[in-house]
Amino acid sequence: MRILHTMLRVGNLDRSIDFYTGILGMQLLRRKDYPGGRFTLAFVGYGDEVDHTVIELTHNWGTDSYDLGNGYGHIALAVDDVAAACESIRRQGGNIVREAGPMKHGSTVIAFVEDPDGYKIELIEGR
């Protein structure tokens, strides 16, 4: 067994694809409309779905936003240099919600960014 994907419901699919591909550097792997169900699925990631875990962006037509609730945590991405990644994300218009620095009660350098729908993404240095 292996993890295939994490699904996020998004209010504006094109805006979300732009964020994940343009700002976080993922690739749009596939996108398909399902007119009968009034939704579109787009899969983004850093490599082919055969070998990598990816993110499924689900857009339900006619729904512009979602209540994120209090059960969702975050997606984690490994980066070589968290401070440099934050600066790059900021320059491209991304929203840094926790600047680079050591995690509480530890020494691992982390930061958090939000996607256009408010989902948190943790950047972890050196993994």
Location of structure tokens 């943790």: 122
Helix (H) or strand (E) holding 56: strand 54-60
Active site residues: 122
Token pair for residue 115? Answer: 């996607």
DSSP 103: P
Q: How far apart are CA 104 and CA 12, in angstroms?
A: 34
CA angle, residues 77, 80, 85, in degrees to nearest 5: 70
What distances in angstroms separate CA 39 from CA 6, 21, 68, one per listed residue? 17, 20, 19
